[in-house]
Amino acid sequence: MVVDIHNHILYGLDDGATTLTTTIDMAKKAIEFGISHVVATPHQDFKNYYNPPTKIYEKLDEVNRLLKSENIPLTICPGMEIGLYEGIIKDLERNQLISLNDSHKYLLIELPSEYIPHYTEEIFEKMKSMGYVPIIAHAERNAEIRRHPTKLLHLINQGALAQVTAASVIGLWGHRLQKVTLSLIKQNLVHFIASDAHNTSSRSFDLVCAYTFLDKKLSIHYSNYFKENALHIIKGTPIISAVKLQKRKKLLFI
């Protein structure tokens, strides 16, 4: 059972799949790559994309019914990729946001690409007090984290988790970003790898390719660790929050 916790497979909601045909093609591609479950995470940021829970659940039901009728053995679970904003706690209280697989525990949070907002730590603390665990989406793509990985370490020590993108692991987005991503993994600052798939061509389901790469480049223990944590998302059970595969080295400027 291979689980992808971050992708944009549901059509017509954001910058991911644009048509039902694209969604079906993405589902077939996920199966081809050995993935059995995906957590659909359409963007919800109140600026570019507004996707209330009812809209996502309706689309999810439609697609899952169609996959079943066409004998495509992929299970799509509910979720959101939530762009961090100051009013997020109020919307959580009003049930306007979806946790990963309706776990009422894990939230996929997208930071701005260039910086970490000044209110991030405060909001993460409030989430923690409500029983939620924030998962930082594609952490390697945040410029401030790349410059100062100790800032990611600080957020993790406060209870957050971090996800990196499969394409970054295998070098599809350039050697420099790959180097950053592998450095974060080796420094035990990553808890998940996910595809962040948007289509079947330029941004596809590269998750299993990333696992295979890590098996050869580092150790099978890494891929097993990430696979296990993804299963915990589906089950809503506690994540192994601090992998001890090697002694953490001093965090360096990347």
Domains in the chain: ranges and CATH: 3-235 (3.20.20.140)
Q: Report which of 187, 122, 121 is spatially closest to residue 150, judged by C-alpha positions.
A: 187
Q: How far apart are CA 171 and CA 168, in angstroms?
A: 5
Which single residue is written with the structure tokens 């999810």? 60
**Spatial separation of the C-alpha atoms in residues 77 and 44, rounded to whole Å:** 16
Model confidence at 45, pLDDT cuts 50, 70, 90, reads confident
Q: Which residues pair with 193 in a beta bridge?
A: 164
Q: Which residue has the higher pLDDT, 80 or 247?
A: 80
| pTM listed for this prediction | 0.94
- pLDDT (tens digit per residue) in 2-14: 999 999 999 999 9
What's the pLDDT band for 246 if we cut at 50, 70, 90?
very low
Query: Mapped to the 3 state alphabet, what secondary structure does the chain carry?
Result: CCEEEEECCCCCCCCCCCCHHHHHHHHHHHHHCCCCEEEECCEECCCCCCCCHHHHHHHHHHHHHHHHHCCCCCEEECCCEEECCCCHHHHHHCCCCCCHHHCCCEEEEECCCCCCCCCHHHHHHHHHHCCCEEEECCHHHCHHHHHCHHHHHHHHHCCCEEEEEHHHHHCCCCHHHHHHHHHHHHCCCCCEEECCECCCCCCCCCHHHHHHHHHHHCCHHHHHHHHHHHHHHHHCCCCCCCCCCCCCCCCCCC
> For 114-145, what is each residue's pLDDT tens digit?
999 999 999 999 999 999 999 999 999 999 99
Token look-up 């039901």 returns 61
Whether residue 66 contacts residue 58, with contact meaning beta carbons closer than 8 Å, is answered with no
